[in-house]
Amino acid sequence: MCGIVALIGSREAAPQLLEGLRQLEYRGYDSAGIATVDGAGMHCLRAEGKLVNLTQRFEAQGAPGQCGIGHTRWATHGKPEERNAHPHLDGSGTVAVVQNGIIENHRLLREELQASGVVFRSDTDTEVIPHLLGRELERLQAGVLSPDGRRPGGALLLRAVQAVLPRLQGAYALAVVWAEAPGALVVARKAAPLLIGLGEGEFLCASDTPALAGFTRTILPMEDGEVALLTPLGIELYDQGGERVERSPSLLSGTEHVADKRSFRHFMLKEIHEQPETAALWVARHLPDAPAGTAAGPLVALPLDGAVLEGVERIDVLACGTSRHAAQVGAYLLEQLAGLPTRVFYASEFRYSPPPLGPHTLTIGVTQSGETADTLAALAMEQERRQLVADPAYAPRLLGITNRPESSLGRMVDQVLDIGAGIEVGVAATKTFLGQLLAFYGLALALAERRLGLQAGGGTITRERLLALTAGLRAVPQQLRELIAEHDRQAEALAHRFESTQDVIFLGRGINFPIALEGALKLKEISYIHAEGYPAGEMKHGPIALLDAKVPVVSIAVPGAVFDKVLSNAQEAKARDAQLIGVAPACGDTELFDVLLAVPEVDELLSPLLTVIPMQLLSYHIAAHRGLDVDQPRNLAKSVTVE
């Protein structure tokens, strides 16, 4: 977790470091800090809470130097207090380190250092690193002088980092500065993201592209185990074995929508409103132009090498949080439409209780950020165990669905479906969820088309059925436009009713059950109201005991296989005095709802693309009405890079 930045060049580093941290604040905002170095030594500023506190401190005290590092924290080891904020320093105060990740053997290292007299000032796992470096630099410094009598600072710092890294277990991205070498910066990564941005006579390193987007478009993503020494003159890149590596930089793409709220009050609201555009782009890219019903070519244009889908007999999906809900909708589509048995796993559970291996299995990792540690670790484990099987039927086939094809996920899997939603800043995922859903529609249609005539959960797969669905998908961007305009107003007007609400139940069935889960998650994440998503038919087996007039029930009821059943379940809630909010088409059947958040009547299989909108807007307006920090809810972070 957390975000790190580091800059070296020929201008004052601190303003750019703060700007980089601003772009990374979605990765954590428990505290922030920077350290710069110049001829006078180390200048370290840290502040608890959001970045604005650090910025105020910088404005009052300054932090001179053309080289520096910065950090925005999501607390793992140690409370979110200033003393646990990064950068952390060694005992002499000359070595400063920022780190994103977890040093798993920190306790052992701490004990060893304490035994040799080192005094720790924080509870973090990171603090062992500056102390180890300080000790190593002392050892290396003894007697090492360059011909002009000066110490070769940068080279020495690099050697110290290279000597210390093998002692660190876990996943990390880190940046180090040393007061004795103000013209050098060392960065390293292992299983946590780090990119180097190449400017003119300056380099900016960061955990993620938003921090680089306003600085440069030329980037060098670091690979696992690599260490780099940066000076204003250039980059020296080394692999894990200490061998020099030469690699060409690449160009950053998709950063046009960089953090700008436009006229919206919050990023989340802006991102909800961007969904018609996300859908329109997807339609333009993936549904070929020929009019429905006349095309003989493929129904869906997926930028995938067909081999990854060839002969697939079953699908496993690994994901966390909102991405997992998109995967659950996807599983429904893959089973009902393409007839492929599909299982969805919590990535964090899969890794430690993997199911028996099956042949001809496609494993899909879904993560909007492409950096979620649980998802990456589960995928890596699956890849490794499949590689050990001699039978080619069990060979790994990995597909990623992500908004960040350049991410760690993108580098790990064989093929990627890029959801192309543009940068999402709000911690609560909205447009990336829609993008993930659309990716699954594309995948399910492509697989169904390969399996025409076979049986799927929803009956025989026919081209007519698939054509009808693609026609339905083309209408989605316009439907979203109208729906968002209408529900934005309606949800805002409704929000005051939730002022004293403590619990909300979300009900859905079939393909809309994951949307009920997503509705509950959104509400929990940003409004801190306890919410549960339940399959509507299960309500009578437990949650019904919670119901009374104070507990609103949001029920998703769309015409299709389970319409009547869901309406009956809603009646059961109404009989217990619950306030009933329906997400359903306006018709005679839906008059039982106290409040109707109307959605157009579409093919049930397409309905999640629309029913999710009132969920997002209701959560947003309830949280905004309560005056909460919608874009940066407490305790959360957008990209969870620790397991």
Residues with catalytic roles: 2, 638
Residue 354 DSSP class? P
368 part of the interface to ligand G6P, by CB under 6 A: yes
- Which one of residues 369, 569, 590, 607 is an interface residue with ligand G6P (CB under 6 A)? 369
Least separation in angstroms between residue 5's CB and ligand G6P is 20
- Which one of residues 427, 531, 567, 573 is an interface residue with ligand G6P (CB under 6 A)? 427
User: Shortest Cβ contact with ligand G6P: which residue?
Assistant: 321
Residue nearer to ligand G6P on the CB measure, 426 or 458: 426
Which residues lie closer than 8 Å to 291 by C-beta, 6 or more apart?
none
Stretch that binds ligand G6P, among 363-371, 380-388, 490-498, 504-512 (CB under 6 A): 363-371
Least separation in angstroms between residue 63's CB and ligand G6P is 31
Residue 18 DSSP class? H
367 part of the interface to ligand G6P, by CB under 6 A: yes
Stretch that binds ligand G6P, among 11-19, 105-113, 314-322, 573-581 (CB under 6 A): 314-322
Question: What torsion do the CA atoms of 160, 163, 166, 168 make, to the nearest 10 degrees?
Answer: -30
SS3 55: helix
- Which one of residues 558, 638, 642, 643 is an interface residue with ligand G6P (CB under 6 A)? 638
430 part of the interface to ligand G6P, by CB under 6 A: no
- Which one of residues 140, 308, 592, 636 is an interface residue with ligand G6P (CB under 6 A)? 636
204 part of the interface to ligand G6P, by CB under 6 A: no
CA distances from 606 to 298, 423, 474, 511 (A): 20, 25, 11, 9
Question: Taking Cα atoms as reference points, which of 478, 401, 481, 474 lies closest to residue 440?
Answer: 401
DSSP track, 601-639: ---GGGTHHHHHHHHHHHHHHHHHHTT--TTS-TT--SS
Stretch that binds ligand G6P, among 45-53, 261-269, 316-324, 562-570 (CB under 6 A): 316-324
- Which one of residues 134, 221, 276, 321 is an interface residue with ligand G6P (CB under 6 A)? 321
**136, 164 contact by CB (below 8 A):** yes
The continuous run of DSSP H or E covering 56 comes out as helix 51-61
Least separation in angstroms between residue 433's CB and ligand G6P is 8
Residue 216: half-sphere exposure toward Cβ, Cα within 13 Å = 21
Alpha carbons 296 and 302: distance in angstroms, whole number: 16
The two structure tokens encoding residue 222: 């670091």
Stretch that binds ligand G6P, among 147-155, 319-327, 491-499, 605-613 (CB under 6 A): 319-327
Give the number of other Cβ atoms within 10 Å of residue 101's Cβ.
Answer: 28
The two structure tokens encoding residue 192: 């946590």
The continuous run of DSSP H or E covering 347 comes out as helix 347-350
- Which one of residues 31, 66, 639, 641 is an interface residue with ligand G6P (CB under 6 A)? 639
Residue nearer to ligand G6P on the CB measure, 153 or 633: 633
Paired with 34 in beta bridges are 45, 70
Backbone torsion region of residue 604, taken as left when φ is above 0, otherwise alpha when ψ lies between -120 and 50, otherwise beta? alpha
Least separation in angstroms between residue 570's CB and ligand G6P is 28
Tokens 């920022």 belong to residue: 98
Site for ligand G6P in 483-512 (CB under 6 A): none
**267, 421 contact by CB (below 8 A):** no
The two structure tokens encoding residue 396: 């790994």
Which residues lie closer than 8 Å to 440 by C-beta, 6 or more apart?
326, 327, 329, 330, 333, 334, 401
Least separation in angstroms between residue 33's CB and ligand G6P is 23
**Number of chain positions touching ligand G6P (CB under 6 A):** 16
- Which one of residues 24, 429, 469, 523 is an interface residue with ligand G6P (CB under 6 A)? 429
632 part of the interface to ligand G6P, by CB under 6 A: no
Residue nearer to ligand G6P on the CB measure, 120 or 528: 528
Least separation in angstroms between residue 250's CB and ligand G6P is 22
Site for ligand G6P in 370-389 (CB under 6 A): 372, 375
Residue nearer to ligand G6P on the CB measure, 162 or 408: 408
SS3 42: strand
Give the number of other Cβ atoms within 10 Å of residue 64's Cβ.
Answer: 14
Tokens 């029920």 belong to residue: 555
Alpha carbons 385 and 396: distance in angstroms, whole number: 9
**197, 228 contact by CB (below 8 A):** no
Alpha carbons 134 and 251: distance in angstroms, whole number: 36
Least separation in angstroms between residue 371's CB and ligand G6P is 7
Least separation in angstroms between residue 259's CB and ligand G6P is 17
Residue nearer to ligand G6P on the CB measure, 72 or 323: 323
Residue nearer to ligand G6P on the CB measure, 343 or 481: 343
640 part of the interface to ligand G6P, by CB under 6 A: yes
The two structure tokens encoding residue 292: 């429905």
Alpha carbons 444 and 609: distance in angstroms, whole number: 15
Residue nearer to ligand G6P on the CB measure, 100 or 639: 639
Residue nearer to ligand G6P on the CB measure, 168 or 320: 320
Alpha carbons 308 and 95: distance in angstroms, whole number: 48
User: By rule CB under 6 A, what string of x and - marks binding of each residue 431-470 to ligand G6P?
Assistant: ----------------------------------------
Residue nearer to ligand G6P on the CB measure, 161 or 379: 379
100 part of the interface to ligand G6P, by CB under 6 A: no
527 part of the interface to ligand G6P, by CB under 6 A: no
328 part of the interface to ligand G6P, by CB under 6 A: no
Alpha carbons 228 and 552: distance in angstroms, whole number: 55
322 part of the interface to ligand G6P, by CB under 6 A: yes
Stretch that binds ligand G6P, among 201-209, 236-244, 423-431, 542-550 (CB under 6 A): 423-431
590 part of the interface to ligand G6P, by CB under 6 A: no
SS3 497: helix
Binding residues for ligand G6P, rule: CB under 6 A, are: 320-323, 367-369, 372, 375, 427-429, 636, 638-640
